[in-house]
Structure 1
Amino acid sequence: MAEPQGEPAKYLARLSEWADSHLTLIRNISTGMAIAGVILFAKSIKLTTKFTSALDIPVEFIEKNVKLRGRLCHITEKGLEVEHVPISLPFLSSLQRKWQSNGVLLIRLAGVELTPNAMVWLQEELKPAQMMWFQLLGREDLVLDCLILVNKGRFFSVCLNEEILRQGLGKTIRIEGLHHDSPLYWKLHKRLLQAELKALKKNKGIWKEESYFEKLRDHISNNKFVQKLKQFANWLRIHI
């Protein structure tokens, strides 16, 4: 003969029956709480935040040299204007776009002094709206000093800072934003110097040696006697 159930057992049985009949609702609530937790966590560490100004980027991101993703907008003399593309949550991508504001980041190629021909090369090599990764190294007012990586094919990426030096389109300079005595500074500075050395060995770009005829032409044009002859010829042209 079964013993009569106590009050706690009855409540537990009723709760179990209710849970069984509302299993879908409970699962939805659990899923919703999990999603909310992911969103709050992502926002707390700014994974899903779109940065529209260099000043918006947390100091911790720059100190830890975080890599961010972006889309190229314009190539200017001051640097590359890039739209930051934050991490997208698949189930909230449309909602994320509503939160995000418009604006671009001005990015400078760290450790490289560009020549005018470098601007032409960048415009030829980079596609409009091309995706790229930029590693934060330093910040000066509204400008970010970064290493910039672009994909070349499916499995290959190129560092623009190094590639410009390999083409002889720039010179290695101090990497702004990094401490001069830090291991990372010397690691990156060594890579840039090695890229510049390759251009020097191959006589590329600014390291290209003048030919004998080019040197002779420059020597003649700079000769004082030749310059006086040109001045005399110009005087005759004006007065005759």
Structure 2
Amino acid sequence: MPESSRETETDEEMTDRQQRDEGNQPSHNIVSSISQFADDNLTFVRNISTGLAVVGVIVIARSIKLITKFQAASEIPARFIERNISLRGKVHSITERGLEVEHVPIHLPVLSRLLSKRKGVRTSPMLVNLAGVELTPEGWAWLQKNLAPAQTVWLKLISREDDMLHCLVSQSKQGSMWSYCMNEEVLRLGLARTAPMVGVLPDSRLYWRLHKRLHRAEVKAERKGQGLWKQDSLWERYSKAVRDNALFRLMRRIFRRT
């Protein structure tokens, strides 16, 4: 009797195992079918994956305006200004109001042409001012000499005022991978003075960080006596004092009359 019960239990276990295997068979068949389909249509699956990736890039590019060409300061999203995003640009000219810079967006082969909304439209440059800087006439001359038309610059957005962008303008050094900030450079050469940051709250961290950075460059020029901080030599100061002397001017008038 005990042996027959063991045989019965063994038969029942085998029956349960078979039923479980039969229950798992459909799911196993589905996985096998999908795997077989993917193997047989590998190129098709890859094309689908590529298509989904391209669609994803297009959606992201549209949402964050990576490839949008800005024609005016008003077209730049407010979040770009708030986050101090850097834009690439190409110099058109330097006027009394500021720099005229054409925005050069990120170029994505094929996609940039497909997603361009301004086909055939003439581009217009944006007006850019060096943030926190008041240029001297010599400073404007220096900019015209060092910023040739079609030269590439980077614009770190600080604030916007009507049609004017206030930026930190950077330029790559010739023959070097490094760039320098032109706002700091004109101050370091004594070709400008520091000025209040337009459109930036005076008690904000951004204001004080930029003010400290620019003020440091101005102090260097003052210590070295460069540009507008240049001091006359002892002989030049003595000559000027003599020319401004009242007695000397009187003697000059007397000699002119005689």
Decide: shared fold, TM above 0.5: yes
Structure 1 distance, partners of 2:179, 2:31, is 60
- Map residues 129-148 of structure 1 onto 2, 5 A cutoff: 129-148=150-169
Instruction: State yes or no: 1:197 paired with 2:228.
Output: no
In structure 1, what is the equivalent of residue 75 of structure 2? 56
Instruction: State yes or no: 1:39 paired with 2:49.
Output: no
Structure 2 distance, partners of 1:219, 1:97, is 66
Structure 2 distance, partners of 1:104, 1:204, is 33
In structure 2, what is the equivalent of residue 112 of structure 1? 133
Structure with bigger gyration radius: 2
SS in 2 for 1:90: coil
In structure 2, what is the equivalent of residue 151 of structure 1? 172
The partner residue of 2:101 within 78, 82, 86 is 82
Report how far residue 197 of structure 1 moved.
0.5
Deviations 1:124-163 (CA, angstroms, capped at 9, x unpaired): 2223312111111111100000111111143321110001
| Count of aligned pairs | 230
Deviations 1:93-113 (CA, angstroms, capped at 9, x unpaired): 444567465111111000000
Query: Once structures 1 and 2 are overlaid, which stretch shifts more, 17-26 or 127-136?
Result: 17-26
User: With structure 1 as the length reference, what TM-score do the two structures score?
Assistant: 0.82
Task: Supply the AA of the counterpart residue of 1:83.
Answer: E
Instruction: State yes or no: 1:182 paired with 2:233.
Output: no
Percent identity between the two aligned chains: 49
**Using a 3 Å threshold, how does the CA distance of structure 1 residues 35 and 211 change in structure 2: closer, same or farther?**
same
Runs of 5+ consecutive residues of structure 1 not aligned to the other structure: none
Report how far residue 9 of structure 1 moved.
11
SS in 1 for 2:91: strand
Query: Once structures 1 and 2 are overlaid, which stretch shifts more, 20-29 or 30-39?
Result: 20-29
Aligned Cα root-mean-square deviation (Å) = 3.2
Structure 2 distance, partners of 1:175, 1:230, is 50
Task: Supply the AA of the counterpart residue of 1:200.
Answer: E
**Using a 3 Å threshold, how does the CA distance of structure 1 residues 99 and 23 change in structure 2: closer, same or farther?**
farther
**Using a 3 Å threshold, how does the CA distance of structure 1 residues 184 and 29 change in structure 2: closer, same or farther?**
same
